[in-house]
Amino acid sequence: MSDGKLAEAKKISTAELRTQALELRRHGPSDRHIGLNLGISHQTAARYVINALEEDAKTERLKTEELRLLTVERINMARVAISQKVVKGDLQALDRWLRLNEQEIKLLGLDAPQKIEFVDGETAMLLEELDISQDELVIQLKAMLREKVHQSKKGGGK
């Protein structure tokens, strides 16, 4: 067998082993058990399961993206179909147009809340040096502000 065919056969058997390892994992066995069943080390079994899961996740992301694009195409086709009525002022068509836009915005994630970074570069470096996340900083600042409010209510001043 030539080196190319041997390498190809090995790739196929590795892919098959990955699939089998993942199938076994879905039924619950440990990496050691999977390794024994497939004639590979438990480390290789663990790696094969992880690789197979990553490949499955990648495939699902691609399917989701394809469905998203197909749906956007359908929304655009529907908008084209009613566009003349919208231009003429048909209120039902305009309402449908707006709903289609809302669907597209949600589908594309344009309505998702955006995380706003509120620290500058120097502050970010200081937080990293102190091993404090921005979320932890917010929690600490809120606690300090609550304490200040409490003190000002209690003492009537700063």
CA dihedral 133, 136, 137, 143 (to 10 degrees): 180
> For the chain (length 158 residues), average pLDDT per consecutive 10?
51 80 88 89 90 88 91 94 94 95 90 72 83 84 88 73
* Contact partners, residue 29, CB within 8 Å, separation at least 6: 37
Same domain, 102 and 140: no
**15, 87: one domain:** yes
DSSP-derived 3-state class of residue 13: helix
Same domain flag for 50 and 128: no
Per-position DSSP letters for 87-110, written without gaps between them: HTT-HHHHHHHHHHHHHHHHHHTT
Residues in the chain: 158
Predicted local confidence at residue 72, as pLDDT: 93
pLDDT of residue 6: 47
Reference 108, options 139, 156, 67, 53; nearest CA is: 67
Within a domain: residue 116? Answer: no
Instruction: Write the single-letter amino acid at 144.
Output: M
pTM given for the model: 0.48
Looking at the structure of the chain, the number of domains it has is 2
CA-wise closest residue to 118 among 103, 138, 96 = 138
Parent domain of 133: 121-155
Residues 90 and 135 grouped into a single domain: no
Give the separation between CA 66 and CA 58, rounded to whole angstroms. Answer: 12
Q: What is the pLDDT, as a whole number, of residue 7?
A: 47
pLDDT of res. 8: 53
